Structure 1
Amino acid sequence: MEVTTQTVGLPQLNKPAPAFDAITTHGRKTLEDYKGKWLILFSHPADFTPVCTTEFIGFQERKDQFDAMNCELLGLSIDSHHSHNAWTLNIKEKFGVEIQFPIIADLDMKVAMSYGMIHEAAADTSAVRATFIIDPEGILRAMVYYPMSNGRQIDEFVRLLKAMQTSDSNACATPENWREGEKVIVPPPATIDEARARLESNEYECTDFYFCKKSL
């Protein structure tokens, strides 16, 4: 069977994120620089393109929310840092938004290839719209891919990060479209006795023994 670049070395959830050492608009950055913080690493097809511009504005407008969750932002495309610098200055001039997070200049595609951002069927010389959430220990916790033609919904990454942090802190799961302050899902019971006890408990809101919620 022929092995393509899409199937070699792709990152996997709950395993260490691929290391990188790259030039950015804020100087050289490595994955190790972000240890102790959450990191959202996201790629875009090219500078000076309209959809990518809206996404960068969207990430910047929510930067304070990410900062409050101990999360850094890091962009990437197969463009030079000169192009990145010119584009961010253009966004400031034309849209009044200053991009305050770094952007990797991945001309040799090393970072893009290690993270599986190059999809030949979409574009063989551009990174697709990929988003990776890496935890403070350098573990890859989530990854989402979007088509070239459609921009990301940045609020979903705010919501997802808050949900993952809540799950980590409280040993719970979160339901569809969970928002902070809503009830969480508790893990299914391990034994029949635990299942009976849960149904009789006032601590949980149970639809059935395997489906129980609680307030935090």
Structure 2
Amino acid sequence: MSDTMNSCPTMPRLNELAPNFEAKTTHGVKKLADYKGKWLVLFSHPADFTPVCTTEFMAFAKHYPEFQKLNCDLIGLSIDSYYAHVAWVRNIKEKFGIDIPFPIIEDLSMKVANDYGMIQPGASDTSAVRATFIIDDKSVLRAMVYYPMSNGRSIPEFVRLVSALQTSDKNNVATPEGWQPGDKVIVPPPGDVNAAEKRMSEGYECTDWYFCKKSL
């Protein structure tokens, strides 16, 4: 094996600029800078023409309008050729009646996959695992989730997570487990003893001084 395959993957870090990329895709050459001002979900899959990946791509396509409403684009990636991507997209249209409306990166060199830590020694040396990266409108990496090759992702969770991140940014709040738009949000805990003393009388729905919710 090459040194690249034997080395530990490069791991991007949350709240830092996402690794830059410029790559051939099914929609022409795309680069990270093309998405400045929009949110982006970049996700990898092990291989074209595989059943689990096919279900994921159809689900991403189904939820594409929801991502678009959140000012969020999608872009897929696998270590397959452009021609394989095109053939697979056409096959999904023919066999399942679903159009794939977003681009898929050709990454035969594995450059993008390695830059994003999509190659996981012990899980896969020559294919990208199921990695998902949420990048905000300033090209900052905000979330990343890795799945094993054997199990598909739940795409509605990524719609929910993009919405939650945008809500937190806009309102300076946190969101509880399973939060959905319209649910109450969590007020940041007080920063000192005096603020803690005042918290219970500030009009929030409080269980205790550190645990308060409010409606937006």
Q: TM-score range by the shorter chain?
A: over 0.9
Q: Give the structure 2 partner of residue 67 of structure 1.
A: 68
SS of 1:6's equivalent in the other structure is coil
Percent identity of paired positions between Structure 1 and Structure 2:
65
SS of 1:200's equivalent in the other structure is coil
1:5 aligns with 2:7: yes
SS of 2:23's equivalent in the other structure is strand
The amino acid across from 1:90 in the alignment is N
Q: Which runs of 5+ in 1 are unaligned?
A: none
Deviation per CA, 1:10-40, whole angstroms, max 9, x where unpaired?
1000001000010000000000000000000
Whether the 8 Å contact between 1:20 and 1:30 is mirrored in structure 2 is yes
**Matched ranges for 1:48-63 at <5 A:** 48-63=49-64
The amino acid across from 1:35 in the alignment is K
Q: Give the structure 2 partner of residue 207 of structure 1.
A: 207
**Matched ranges for 1:115-126 at <5 A:** 115-126=116-127
Q: Give the structure 1 partner of residue 153 of structure 2.
A: 152
Q: Give the structure 2 partner of residue 47 of structure 1.
A: 48
TM-score by length of structure 1 reads 0.96
Cα deviation, residue 6, structure 1: 2.8
The amino acid across from 1:213 in the alignment is K
Cα deviation, residue 191, structure 1: 2.0
1 CA distance for matches of 2:205 and 2:160? Answer: 23
SS of 1:131's equivalent in the other structure is strand
Indicate the RMSD between aligned Cα atoms, in angstroms. Answer: 1.1
SS of 1:13's equivalent in the other structure is coil
Q: Give the structure 1 partner of residue 164 of structure 2.
A: 163
1 CA distance for matches of 2:138 and 2:8? Answer: 26
Corresponding pairs, count: 212
Q: Which runs of 5+ in 2 are unaligned?
A: none
- Tell me which stretches of 4 or more aligned residues in structure 1 moved more than 2 Å: 3-7
1:140 aligns with 2:138: no
SS of 1:150's equivalent in the other structure is coil
Cα deviation, residue 194, structure 1: 1.4
The amino acid across from 2:209 in the alignment is F
Deviation per CA, 1:117-164, whole angstroms, max 9, x where unpaired?
001211211000000000011100000000100000000001111000
Q: Give the structure 2 partner of residue 98 of structure 1.
A: 99
State which drifts further: 190-199 or 164-173: 190-199
1:15 aligns with 2:16: yes
Cα deviation, residue 97, structure 1: 0.1
SS of 1:84's equivalent in the other structure is helix
**Matched ranges for 1:187-202 at <5 A:** 187-202=188-203
The amino acid across from 1:207 in the alignment is T
